[in-house]
Structure 1
Amino acid sequence: MDSLLKHMVDMTGHRDHAMLDISVISAVQELARASQARVLTIANVRGQLFVRPRAAVGAGSPARMVELADPSNPGEPIASFPALAACIARHESNADAIDAEGNHTLWMPIWIGDKADTCLEIVNPTPYTSDTIHTIGGVVSVYRNFQNLLDYSERDSLTGLLNRKTFDDQLAKMLHSSGEQEAVSLPPGETERRHHHEEEKQWLAVVDVDHFKHVNDKFGHLYGDEVLILIANLLQSSFRAQDRVFRFGGEEFVVLLRSTTLENAKKIIDRFRINVEQHDFPQVGKVTVSVGFTSISAYDAPVVVLGRADQALYYAKSHGRNMSCHYDELVSSGQLQTIESNDTAEFF
């Protein structure tokens, strides 16, 4: 009982999803005496469900977050886990299976309404008793409730996107990740790998809905809100699962793109812009967006990164709208001058 209470105190003391994940798998691994416990993400990619690990802990080893070697990889198809797939399809609270080595795997989806995008996986060489499942179920309930509280504090109430308050923490993590990548040293002669590594960067894009004031003035704020909700949906469907999308307020959105090349960043951003251009918004008709984006470097302050993306956005807005503009290309072509202050930004 003391161990269970200790884990409950630890879990509810965090204000960060990653640390909450670490706490819950540490708790279930110890309480179930499991050989391994993982937090899995269940991602819906173009109508297909995929499973990928988010955090893991083994007996005798510390819990850790799991970083995929290829961030664009959505994971394994859920069909690779038949018992879990059936559990999700039937909206059940748990499922178990025995593998070829005789290990027992217990899956416990985290249901929020009728959706489960997180699942706990516990592996044990022996069967689970009803008492163990009951105890772990209690831990899962606390985890789900606290995850809900974190989601509520981190998300915009209108669109469901991550909010401005959450952005600062996410950008700091990306800057730290970018710094670690830039610090990687490769042996002499591995120029091809170095070139590939230098091409893949983190990116920040600022999105602004064109002529949004006109939408509100002509159709009213209810239709304006519907436009923002639909734009948010298009952002989520157009960008990748590992990217992060935020609403900054009003008609402004920000996207953090993880580990991709300039060419891919352009394709992903333009895919979103074209999806908006081709979408038929009820009553309003056609709506377009302008985008400014820039690469993220660990050597730049967050205000500088935001300022550069916003300068590129300002250029797009003042040169015809419905465009996406890359800050560095605008500077190298002489269409923008390098300024480190955020003179055009509306964020501060």
Structure 2
Amino acid sequence: MESIIKHLVEITGYRDHDLLNISIASSLREIFVARSARVSELSSNATATFLTAKVDITSTGVDVIDQSEPMLLSDKLSDIAELKTAIAGQQPVIEYLINNDPCICLLLWNTGRLEALIELIHPTNRSLNTMEVVRGMLVVYKNFLALLDYNERDSLTGLLNRKTFDDSYTRMLRMNVGHLALAEDELGADQPETENKVDHYHWLAVVDIDYFKRVNDQFGHLYGDEVLILIANIMRNSFQPNDHLFRFGGEEFLILVHSSSLGEAHRVLDQFRTNVEQYHFPQVGQVTVSIGFARIDTFEPAVATVGRADQALYYAKTHGRNQTCHYDMLVANGDLHQEYSNDIAEFF
């Protein structure tokens, strides 16, 4: 009993989804006396659902899998029929084999949506009492997760809120450091400093709805709220599972774009802008957005990156709107000057 209470205290001591999932996976590995535990999270876009491995946990510690590429959930289900049946029936616990090793899989549900899987490889404690304890822990987890969502997500759009931005930005910085270190290892430390050693970076984009005040004034705040909800839905369908989407306040959104080249980041962001432009908003008709984005530089504080993206957004808003502008490109072309203020709220 004392051990169970200790695990529950640890699980409910976190205010972060990733740490919460690691904590419950670590606790379950100990309870089942499993060789290892893997946490994988689910995400979706307009066409598919993906499964991304996040951490592997063993007796020696936690291995964070920052570079893991998402796999199609359908591929996983085609290999494991038991998992497909469990998801259809919203079951919390199932058993199957992975490479001939027994596995207990815990399905982490949140308001009817499957959010993550915890796979316990080669468990040795599989008593009936253990299974009952684990089912109880999953109920605690589910209730605690609902509280976290209430605190971390924007109540109108369901996107991440401003309070979660700093942690997400810090994690992306850590991944940026990893990418640069990997590139140096592959190319060699003796490469000239001027040589571009890596062409894939993370990016921060600031999105603002054009003439949003007119929407509220002409059609009312209920239709304004509907525009915000629909744009949030378009965002979910326009970006990859590893990208992070925030409503930063009012009609302003932030996007953390996962590792990609400048050309690919510009293409994805501009495709989102086009998707909004081509969407017919009920009663309102056409709505457009302006986007400014900047590369996330290693060791640079979030406020500096947001400031550069804001300046690119300011340029987009003052030069026709409904366009996507990259900060460094504007500076290189002489189009952007430092007298632009980072505080652009009054203009919008």
Q: TM-score with structure 2 length normalisation?
A: 0.90
1:149 alignment partner AA = L
- Please report how far the alpha carbon of residue 320 of structure 1 lies from its aligned counterpart in structure 2 after TM superposition: 1.0
Aligned to 1:133: 131
Contact kept, 8 Å, 1:303 with 1:342, in 2: the verdict is no
- Give, in whole Å, the separation in 2 of the partners of 1:199 and 1:336: 24
Superposed CA deviations along residues 218-242 of structure 1, whole A, max 9, x for unmatched, are 1000000000000011111101110
Unmatched runs of 5 consecutive residues or more in structure 1: none
The SS at the match of 2:109 is: coil
Q: Helix, strand or coil for the counterpart of 2:240?
A: coil
Q: Following TM superposition, by how much is the alpha carbon of 1:109 offset from its aligned partner in structure 2, in angstroms?
A: 1.2
| Whole-angstrom distance in 2 between the partners of 1:333 and 1:81 | 54
Matched-pair identity in %: 43
SS in 1 for 2:315: helix
Structure 2 vs 1, CA of residues 265 and 247 (structure 1 numbering), >3 Å: closer, same or farther?
Answer: same
Alpha-carbon separation, structure 2, partners of 1:229 and 1:255: 16
In structure 2, the residue corresponding to 1:255 is in which secondary structure?
Answer: strand
**Structure 1: which amino acid aligns with 2:153?**
R
Moved more, 3-12 or 40-49: 40-49
Provide runs of 4+ in structure 1 moved above 6 Å. Answer: none
> Would the alpha carbon gap of residues 137 and 47 (structure 1) be closer, same or farther in structure 2, given more than 3 Å must change?
farther
Question: Counterpart of 1:240 in 2: which secondary structure?
Answer: coil
Matches within 5 A, 1:220-235: 220-235=220-235
- 2:82 corresponding residue in structure 1: 83
Aligned partner of 1:109 in structure 2 is 107
SS of 2:41's partner is strand
Q: 1:100, CA displacement in angstroms?
A: 5.7
Letter in 2 for 1:43: S
Kindly indicate whether residue 245 of structure 2 is the aligned counterpart of residue 250 of structure 1.
no
Structure 1 residue 301 displacement after superposition: 2.7
Alignment partner, residue 262 of structure 1:
262
Supply the distance in 2 between the matched residues of 1:284 and 1:204 (Cα, whole angstroms).
29
TM-score (normalizing by structure 1) = 0.90
List per-residue Cα deviations over 1:17-40 (Å, max 9, x = no partner): 222122111110010111122222
More displaced, 146-155 or 323-332? 146-155
CA contact (8 A) 1:204 1:305 kept: yes
Summarize the alignment of residues 36-47 of structure 1 with structure 2, pairs less than 5 Å apart.
Answer: 36-47=36-47
More off after superposition, 331-340 vs 150-159:
331-340
CA contact (8 A) 2:293 2:327 kept: yes
Secondary structure at the aligned position of 1:111 is classed as strand
What is residue 321 of structure 1 aligned with on the other side? 321
Unaligned runs of 5+ in 2: none
Match of 2:147 among 146, 149, 155: 149
> Per-residue deviation at 1:79?
2.2
Q: Distance in 2 between matches of 1:156 and 1:125?
A: 39
Kindly tell me: are residues 125 and 314 of structure 1, through their superposed partners in 2, closer, same or farther at Cα, counting changes over 3 Å?
closer
Task: Give yes or no for the alignment of 1:61 onto 2:66.
Answer: no
Quick check: 1:28–1:139 contact (8 Å CA) kept in 2? no
Give secondary structure in 1 for the equivalent of 2:284.
Answer: coil
What's the offset of the Cα at 1:264?
0.8
What is residue 118 of structure 2 aligned with on the other side?
Answer: 120
Partners of 2:45 and 2:80 in 1: CA distance: 17
Distance 2:68 2:99 in 1: 27
Looking at structure 1, the residues matched to 313 and 341 of structure 2 have their Cα atoms a distance apart, in angstroms, of 15
Distance in 1 (alpha carbons) for counterparts of 2:226 and 2:149: 22
Q: 1:331 to 1:156 in 2, by over 3 A?
A: same
Q: Is the 8 A contact 1:276 1:287 kept in 2?
A: yes
- 2:137 and 2:29 map into 1 onto residues whose CA distance is 11
Q: State the partner residue of 2:280.
A: 280
Distance 1:302 1:125 in 2: 42
Deviations 1:90-128 (A, max 9, x none): 222222123563x32122212222211212222225583
State the aligned residue count: 343
Over 3 Å counting, the alpha-carbon distance change for 1:208 and 1:15 in structure 2 is: same
Q: Which moved more, 1:336-345 or 1:122-131?
A: 336-345
CA contact (8 A) 1:210 1:322 kept: yes
Correspondence for 1:163: 161
